[in-house]
Amino acid sequence: MSRRVSLTQYLVEQERQHGRIPAQLRLLIEVVARACKRIAISVNKGALGDVLGSAGSENVQGEVQKKLDVISNEVLIEANEWGGHLAAMASEEMDSIHGVPHRYPQGEYLLLFDPLDGSSNIDVNVSIGTIFSVLRKVGHARGVSEEDFLQPGKHQAAAGYCVYGPQTTLVLTVGDGVAMFTLDREQGSFVLTEENLTIPEDTQEFAVNMSNQRHWAPPVVRYIDECLAGKDGPRGKDFNMRWVGSMVADVHRLLMRGGVFLYPWDQREPDKPGKLRLMYEANPMAFLVEQAGGLASNGQARIMGLVPSKLHERTSVVLGSKNEVERVVDYHRSALP
Ligand code: AHG
Ligand code: MN
Ligand code: MN
């Protein structure tokens, strides 16, 4: 029988072999994984658990919150508050940062999350997920403020996501490649099912919401038009398209078999740099994708080099197979006056 490696064992062995995962970070990752198991249970209950539909409230971005957005946010906070590994948390679903209550010891890490990604897919039983990103609090000043979170993604100590799909899978990087774990429901533990995930440099599959095509900037229109032209166009090959509408599911697919994912800036809200959130969605996914040999850009610059000016900052996103992302960046460059 092949050796089964649990998430805990993987983290302990990584620390022994490479010294990359200090005890607080290991605890943090295990606590997030435990929270994801709890969220998976709620997701699976569906209508039987009264978890579907709207919560009747709005988040700071003006989006209607679903019950599962609120439940997942609470599960992650409750699980992470008391372990002594965190200084504070920030979430897509909370206006401002959430410090660790004074009755608990304060740790050195900052945890950011999109508690439930793909909210529009909850009620139709399509894959959704949780995305998380870990930063280190810099400086020794007491207390935590929003400024402590405003670090570029290249400073992430770890990042990952959990997909609640046909299987529940946790995908993780601590800056030394990407590993995937599958939830064994009978045992209640995440088991290592793939190591060193690699995204092929070339692909014939793209993911974008085509209904926004008329609003895109010319370099994006050009790139997708050329993909659509297939064999007869300048690319000389046919492309396939997929759009789940949950970033976790779309990014998971490209980590498994290659592809390029775009959520570009568009003219619907010209003052917003994009729809997706830099700190809760773009940065963690960029870290995973780069660790798997892909690239992540906003069209002009590397996502992980962007210095956020506010917690809920948004960005345009192009990520996945290296040669495709480079091409999109190239089309942006050559469109400059
Ligand atoms: P969230 O559910 O956390 O608000 O994120 C939804 C995001 C992302 O998961 C997905 O790629 C994108 O929104 C889908 O947007 P459209 O509905 O505009 O296609
Ligand atoms: Mn999201
Ligand atoms: Mn969300």
Atom of ligand 1 nearest to the CA of 114: 3
- pLDDT at residue 10 above 90? yes
Ligand 1 proximal residues by C-beta, below 6 Å: 63, 92, 114, 117-120, 209, 245-247, 263
Q: Tell me the domains of the chain and their CATH numbers.
A: 7-194 (3.30.540.10), 205-334 (3.40.190.80)
Q: What is the pLDDT of residue 143?
A: 85
In whole angstroms, give the CA distance from residue 84 to residue 191.
26
Separation of 118 CA from ligand 3 center, angstroms? 6
Confidence class for position 60, pLDDT limits 50, 70, 90: confident
pLDDT tens-digit profile of 174-185?
Answer: 999 999 999 999
Average pLDDT over residues 40-48: 96
Nearest bound ligand to the CA of residue 61: 1
What digits encode the pLDDT tens for the residues 306-316? Answer: 999 999 999 99
Is it the case that residue 89 has pLDDT exceeding 80? yes
Q: Give the C-alpha separation, 245 to 264, whole Å.
A: 14
Q: Is the pLDDT of residue 1 over 80?
A: no
Compute the distance between CA of residue 104 and CA of residue 27 in angstroms, rounded to an integer. 15
CA of 335 to the centre of ligand 3 (A): 33
pLDDT digits (tens, 9 = 90+) for 93-123: 999 999 999 999 999 999 999 999 999 999 9
**Burial (0-12, 13-18, 19+ Cβ within 10 Å), 201:** middle
Average pLDDT, the chain: 96
Report pLDDT for 59. Answer: 87
The closest ligand to the CA of 63 turns out to be: 1
Write the pLDDT tens digit of every residue in 193-238: 999 999 999 999 999 999 999 999 999 999 999 999 999 999 999 9
Mean pLDDT along residues 263-291: 96
Q: How far is the CA of 118 from the centre of ligand 1 (A)?
A: 5
Residue pair 303/316 in contact (Cβ under 8 Å)? The answer is no
Structure tokens at 194: 């793939």
> Which three-class secondary structure state does DSSP give residue 232?
helix
pTM: 0.97
Containing 317, the helix (H) or strand (E) segment is: strand 317-320
Q: What is residue 286's predicted lDDT score, i.e. its pLDDT?
A: 99
For residue 229, the CA-to-ligand 2 centroid distance in Å is: 31
Are 247 and 285 in contact, with CB atoms under 8 Å apart?
yes
Percent of the chain whose predicted confidence (pLDDT) is above 70: 100
Question: Which atom from ligand 1 is nearest to the alpha carbon of 243?
Answer: 19
Q: What is the DSSP letter of 278?
A: I
Q: Which ligand is nearest to the CA of 244?
A: 1
